Every structure is written in structure tokens, then in C-alpha cells.
Chain A
Amino acid sequence: MANPGLSRPGFIFRKKEPMEQILANGVYLGSQYAMIALGLTLIFALMNVLNFAHGQMYVIGGFVTYTFYGQWGVPFILALVMSCVTLAILGALIEKLLFAPVIKGSAREESTMLLAAGIAFLLDALILLIFGEKQRGVPKIIDGVFNWDFRLIMPYDRILICVLAILSIVGFIGFMQYSKTGRALRALAQDRTAAQLMGVNVDRYSMIGFALGAMLAGLVGGLLVTITGVNLGMGGPTSIKAFMMVMIGGAGVISGAIAGGIILGFMEAIGLAVLSQYGDITYLLIFVSLMIFLAIRPQGLMGKPWG
């Protein structure tokens, strides 16, 4: 039979997990989490909408890249662009046709949660009908594993995705700081009425902001499909994880989302390494500490109090 035999020449694991590995895992997880959280927090900051469908948008981004890159052999970067474009259009349509009118017509702005959940169901149904129920993956973009004396093991494609994620985050911050659109969006997030008085076209920039948030979800979905693959079930859990990161950092604050993502990434990396002997309760401890943190610091790290 074609099994790799049990001769294990290179199998020299250190007894204790080296710090370098934990840190690298943390950076890798943190950068991808931060990207997921960015889009969510942007939408929240602009419209006070907790977008339950964020995870589904991420999944669609993954499937679009899978279809273009994995199925049709389009270059990876082009496939990524397609993911971004698809999601930006989808986001703009959802904002224009659904969120904007509902926000105008509802007595309490939390009502948008029902709409967001309905959209999440709808996208789930569409993903199942269009892309099917199977787990999908694409060919590796780069082969090989970086191995520094078994102190730090990191496949090259992960390093590349991590770098791309960090570059995207930097690019996004630059866009928000220095472009005209970015400044308008920040004004809108700070004070909707004031922005309107200053002559910002609120309706138009709400739509742009939503499209941008959806696009970020699509981009990270497209990036991560090369590592984790994609399946229709990833949407809901991704949304919930993104909520947590946003809460840790402070709702509606860009820097908070980045901090939240990185903190959750490190919490998982360190938690899994340190608490692994507790087995089944590792995640219980992570969640409980999250609750305690939020109870002590209700506005997160850098949020405005009372969201």
C-alpha cells in the first residue's frame, strides 16, 4: 500500500512550543481576523447596522475566487479583483435597495438586525444553490514550507497571504486618511447630522461605505480560500467571530477593529498553546475571559462608550 512508512527522519519536535511559533501564529491569525473585522466595523460605524450577513459575504468572496482561479484558471490576482468587484456591487445594491429604506422607515434602528439576518439566510440559500454543498479549495499559490530549525514553521503561502492582508489593511487606512471619499466616510461615521450639514451627500456615501465594507469581506474571503478553502457553512461562525473582534476593540472604530482582530488572533494562538492540556475547555476559557474583559471594559479598548 502507498502509505508513507513510519520512518520519521525529520520528525524532531521540541517538547515545548517555542515562543516564535506562537507569535507567528498570532500575527497570521490576527492579520486575517483584523481584515474580517474591518469591513464589519466600517458598516457599523457608518449606519449603526450590525451586519449579520458579513460572514456570508466573506464566503461569496471565497467562492468567486475559487470559480475564477480554481475552476477557470484565471490568474489569482485577477480572481481576487473579481471577488472585490462582485461584493462591492452586491453591497451597494443591498444598501440601496434594502438597508436605506428600512432605516428610514423604522422606529428603532435595531430593526435592521432582522433585515441583516434575513439577508444572511438569503445569501446562504443562494450560495447552496449556486456553489453547492461541498468544501472547495484551490491549488496552492506557492509550494514549500519555511522551517527555521523547527522553532518556526510557516508555509510560504501563509506568509504571502499574511503580507497581503497587512498590505491591504495599510492600504485601507491610507485610503480612509487621505482620499476625499475616505475623509467623507470618516466625517459620516463621526456625526451623521454634522456631515450632512457640511455638505456630505449622506445617502451616496452610506452606499459607498457599505460597498467598501462588503468588498473587504470579499477580499479576505478570496485571500483565505487559498489556505483554508471555503464552504457554505463558514458564513455564520465568521460573522460571530467578527462581532467579537469588533467588541474587543470597540464598536465602530477602525483602529479598534484592527486591535480586536490581532488580540483575538493572539488569544487563540497563545490560548491553544498554553491551555492545550485542559483539552475540551480551552475555548470555554477563551470565551469566559472575553466576557470578563467586556464586563470590565464595556466600550472595548478604544470604543466610544455605549456604542
Chain B
Amino acid sequence: MNKTSSKQLLGVAIFLIAIFIGVPLAISLTGRWDFYFTLTSVALLAIASAGVWLTFYIGRINIGQGAFALIGAYVSAILVVKGGISFWISLPAAGIFAAIVAVIIGLPILRLRGVYFAMITLVLTQVVTLTALALPITNGAKGISSIPLPSGVSLFGIPIIPEFAAMENTKLAFYYTACILMVVTYAALYRLVNSRLGHLCRSMQQNEELASSIGVNIAHIRIVIFAISSFFGGIGGAMFGSIAQSVYPSSFQVADSVNFMLNCFLGGLGYVFGPMLGTLVLYFGWDLLFELGKYQLLIYSIILIAVIRFLPNGLLSLRIGKGGQS
């Protein structure tokens, strides 16, 4: 396990201050309130991307995270709307349900590798979308709309989480919630990567047969990692459903699955915080280019191609050797 240097601690502290104090301050100074939603999206998509990065860590290309995000969004929406359960209980439930689905599906498909695994996860995204269209409980094509905002939570009469609907500024509340979830996710990811399990994953990424021959139960590890990965996807999706207050079969689709994967590539596969940076650049970059009108996609794709052309190992390869490297 790596020793946490004081330099790394300082970096983390600066990052936390930046997202929890710096960003709200900057937004209230500049008056760009629309950035709250964009940054909230970035945080949530970064959570799902963290899951994809984790499957990369065991040497699997995962183009199925959209499926688990959609599952999470639907589980939360159904529990809140049809079950009348608090959103804050439905959120972990969504993650857990996604993880259970991942275990069931993962058992057969995790034996696949390379492009074969990539393709089967891609098909999985389509399967989940079509299932959502066909099932009665998901309301089929009509989707679930008018989902209430998260309710308040109090423990022994002390309010812990305020009622969202009663709030003046739900944007800020969603922003903080998403950032807290993201920080927790990446802390967990960092911890995991630097644990014994992370070490085993690295050995699997190098050579599964070799890892297996020295007594590593690779099948078991694969399932655990895939379940954790999908848990992240479910959480991210559920939170999104709550912000949009609606879920449709098209809320997460193949394009989203592909984007989650691209986030990881762009940030850099060798860096824990790669997917976070990748998501920020890919998603926020699109928003920043909004002024370009019909040339938006053109400029966006040219920049993307230029980045991968000159930094084929991801953005974070610019600063090899500093903190955050696994």
C-alpha cells in the first residue's frame, strides 16, 4: 500500500476546497448559475465512469455502464413513485440492485475478454433499454415522470438532510449531494486500488493465467469488481433520475455507455482520477463550445482527436509521477 505523502494530502485538500467552496463562490461572483447543473452532471457521470475505469482495471473494456445507470434510475424512480419510499433509501437500493444484476450477468459474460466482452456489454445496454420499453412496471414507452424531489431525513428529530422541495435553491443542494457522492466514490476507489484486492487486480490485468496459477481466485475477484463497478453506475443513474424528475427508456442509451468509456480513455487508464478529469473535459467542453452553434460538434471532435493524437495515454499522462497514480 502506498504511503500518503503530505503533498498528496495537500492536493486533496485543495481539490475539496475548490469544489465545495471555490465553485459556489465563483458561480455567485460570475452569476453563471447554469454551471451548477453542468457540474452536477459531471460529478454524477464521473461516478458512473469510475465504475467503468474499475472494470478496465481488471482488463475488461466495459461499454455497458449505461445499462446499469438506467437500471439504477428505474429502481429509484419505482421505489419513490410506486413504493412511496424516501429517495435516500432508494439511492443505495438502486446501487445494490444494479450490483445484483451485475453478478447474475457477470457470471457468464466475465469469462469473455477483449473486444468480445466490450461487445456483449454494448448489447447489454440495448437489452436493458428494450426491457424498459417492454415491462409494465417501468411504464413502458411512457416512462416515469413527475418524480417527487428528495424528501428530508431526520434522525432523532434532528434534521440531517433538508426537504429538497422546500428549498430555495435545489441546484445547490443537488450540486453538493453529487459532489459528496463523487468524493466518497473516488476515495473508495483510491482505497480499493491501493489495497490487496487492487494488487490482485493489477496482476490479473497483466496476465490472468499467471494470477490464477499463483492461487488467486480470479473468477471471484472479477465478479466483485464488476458488481462494485455497476453499483457506481446505479447510484449515478438514480441521482440523475431524481434531478430530471423523470426516467425514460432513452435516459441512458448506447451513446452514454460509449461516453462513459471515452471518459476513462481521455483521462487516462493508468490514473485513479483519470475518469473524473475525462468526464469534466468531455462534458463541460461540449457546454463551453455552445456559442459555436452549428460548428459545435465539428470543433469538439477536432479537439478530441487532437488530444488523443498528441496524448494517446490520456490527459493525466502529462503529469506522470505525481499523486493519483496507481
Q: Which residue of B lies closest to A119 (CB)?
A: B305
In the complex, B113 has a CB within 8 A of chain A = yes
Are B119's CB and A247's CB within 8 A? yes
Min CB gap B194→A, angstroms: 20
Are A291's CB and B309's CB within 8 A? no
Are B309's CB and A115's CB within 8 A? yes
| A243 contacts across to B, CB distance below 8 A | 119, 122
- Chain B residues 275 to 319 lying within 8 A of chain A, measured CB to CB, are 294-295, 297-298, 300-302, 304-305, 308-309, 312-314
Are A307's CB and B115's CB within 8 A? yes
Interface size of B as a range: 35 or more
Q: How far is the CA of A180 from the CA of B313 in the complex (A)?
A: 36
Q: Which residue of B lies closest to A110 (CB)?
A: B61
- Chain A residues 262 to 307 lying within 8 A of chain B, measured CB to CB, are 280-281, 283-284, 287-288, 290-291, 294-295, 298-300, 303, 306-307
Q: How far is the CA of A244 from the CA of B122 in the complex (A)?
A: 9
| A114 contacts across to B, CB distance below 8 A | 262, 265-266, 304, 308
Q: Which residue of B lies closest to A44 (CB)?
A: B115
Q: How far is the CA of A279 from the CA of B134 in the complex (A)?
A: 10
In the complex, B254 has a CB within 8 A of chain A = yes
Contact of B308 among A118, A124, A294, A299 (CB under 8 A): A118
| B131 contacts across to A, CB distance below 8 A | 284
In the complex, B120 has a CB within 8 A of chain A = yes
In the complex, B112 has a CB within 8 A of chain A = yes
Are B265's CB and A111's CB within 8 A? yes
In the complex, B26 has a CB within 8 A of chain A = no
Q: Which residue of B lies closest to A243 (CB)?
A: B119
Are A251's CB and B116's CB within 8 A? yes
| A199 contacts across to B, CB distance below 8 A | none
Known: A115-B305, A240-B254, A281-B130. A294 touches B122 (CB 8 A): no
Contact of B255 among A107, A129, A236 (CB under 8 A): A236
Are A111's CB and B116's CB within 8 A? no
Are A115's CB and B301's CB within 8 A? no
Are B308's CB and A307's CB within 8 A? no
Q: How far is the CA of A126 from the CA of B108 in the complex (A)?
A: 41
- Chain A residues 23 to 58 lying within 8 A of chain B, measured CB to CB, are 44, 50, 52
Are A287's CB and B302's CB within 8 A? no
Identify the interface centre among B114, B115, B140, B255: most chain A CB within 10 Å of its CB. B115
Q: Which residue of A lies closest to B63 (CB)?
A: A113
For A119-149 the 0/1 string (1 means CB < 8 A from B) is: 1011011101100000000000000000000
| A105 contacts across to B, CB distance below 8 A | 312-313
Q: How far is the CA of A44 from the CA of B131 in the complex (A)?
A: 31
In the complex, B109 has a CB within 8 A of chain A = yes
Interface Cβ pair total, 8 Å cutoff: 135
| B130 contacts across to A, CB distance below 8 A | 281, 283-284, 287
Q: How far is the CA of A113 from the CA of B269 in the complex (A)?
A: 13
Q: How far is the CA of A299 from the CA of B111 in the complex (A)?
A: 11
For B140-166 the 0/1 string (1 means CB < 8 A from A) is: 100000000000000000000000000
Q: How far is the CA of A102 from the CA of B118 in the complex (A)?
A: 21
Q: How far is the CA of A182 from the CA of B294 in the complex (A)?
A: 42
In the complex, B126 has a CB within 8 A of chain A = yes
Known: A102-B312, A114-B262, A300-B116. A291 touches B123 (CB 8 A): yes
Q: How far is the CA of A280 from the CA of B131 in the complex (A)?
A: 10
Q: How far is the CA of A288 from the CA of B125 in the complex (A)?
A: 11
| B116 contacts across to A, CB distance below 8 A | 247, 251, 294, 298-300, 303, 306-307
Q: Which residue of A lies closest to B121 (CB)?
A: A291
Are B127's CB and A102's CB within 8 A? no
Min CB gap A268→B, angstroms: 14
Are A306's CB and B297's CB within 8 A? no
Q: How far is the CA of A3 from the CA of B165 in the complex (A)?
A: 55
Are B309's CB and A102's CB within 8 A? yes
In the complex, B261 has a CB within 8 A of chain A = yes
In the complex, A202 has a CB within 8 A of chain B = no
In the complex, B172 has a CB within 8 A of chain A = no
| B265 contacts across to A, CB distance below 8 A | 110-111, 113-114
Interface residues in chain B, defined as those with a beta carbon under 8 Å from any beta carbon in chain A: 61, 108-109, 111-116, 118-120, 122-124, 126-127, 130-131, 133-134, 140, 254-255, 258, 261-262, 265-266, 269-270, 294-295, 297-298, 300-302, 304-305, 308-309, 312-314
Give me 21 A-to-B residue pairs in the complex whose CB atoms sit less than 8 angstroms apart, sorted by A's number.
A98-B309, A105-B312, A111-B314, A113-B262, A114-B304, A114-B308, A115-B308, A117-B262, A117-B304, A122-B302, A126-B298, A240-B122, A244-B119, A281-B134, A284-B130, A287-B127, A294-B112, A294-B120, A295-B108, A295-B109, A298-B113
- A sample of 14 more A-B contacts (CB under 8 A), given A122-B302, A307-B116, is A106-B313, A110-B265, A118-B308, A121-B301, A122-B305, A240-B122, A251-B114, A281-B134, A294-B120, A298-B111, A300-B116, A306-B114, A306-B116, A307-B115
Q: What are the 8 A-B residue pairs with the smallest beta carbon separation, nearest first?
A: A106-B312, A121-B301, A122-B301, A114-B265, A125-B298, A307-B114, A125-B297, A295-B108
